[in-house]
Structure 1
Amino acid sequence: MSKDSIKSLKDVTGQAGDLAKHIWLAGLGAYGRAYDEAQERYDKASKESPRLFKELVSKGSKLETQAREKLGDVSSLGKTVSIEERISKMRASLGFGHTASADDLERLEKKLDALSKKVDTLSKSKAPAAKAAAKPKAARKTAAKKAAAKSS
Structure 2
Amino acid sequence: MSKDSKKNLKEVTSQAGELAKSIWLAGLGAYGRAYDEAQEAVEKASKETPKLFKELVSKGNKLEEQAKEKFGEASSLGKTVSIEERISKMRASLGFGHTASADDLDRLEKKLDALSKKVDALSKSSKATAAAPAKKAVAKKAATKKAAPKKAS
Common fold, TM-score beyond 0.5?
yes
Residue in 2 that maps onto 1:34: 34
Percent of residue pairs bearing the same amino acid type: 71
Correspondence list, 1:65-104, <5 A: 65-83=65-83, 85-86=85-86, 97-99=94-96
* Residue identity opposite 2:21 in structure 1: K
Larger radius of gyration: 2
Structure 2-normalised TM-score? 0.59
Deviation at 1:64, TM superposition (A): 1.0
Cα pair 1:88 1:97 within 8 Å, conserved: no
Correspondence list, 1:133-144, <5 A: none
- Is 1:5 aligned to residue 5 of structure 2? yes
Deviation at 1:56, TM superposition (A): 0.6
- What's the Cα RMSD here? 3.7
Deviations 1:119-147 (A, max 9, x none): xx7xx99xx9xxxxxxxxxxxxxxxxxxx
Deviations 1:17-52 (A, max 9, x none): 111111111111111111111111011001100010
Count of aligned residue pairs for this structure pair = 121
Structure 2 residue runs of 5 or longer lacking an equivalent are 131-153
Structure 1-normalised TM-score? 0.60
> Which whole-Å CA distance do the structure 1 matches of 2:49 and 2:90 have between them?
48
> Which whole-Å CA distance do the structure 2 matches of 1:82 and 1:56 have between them?
41
Q: SS where residue 26 of structure 2 aligns?
A: helix
Structure 1 residue runs of 5 or longer lacking an equivalent are 129-152
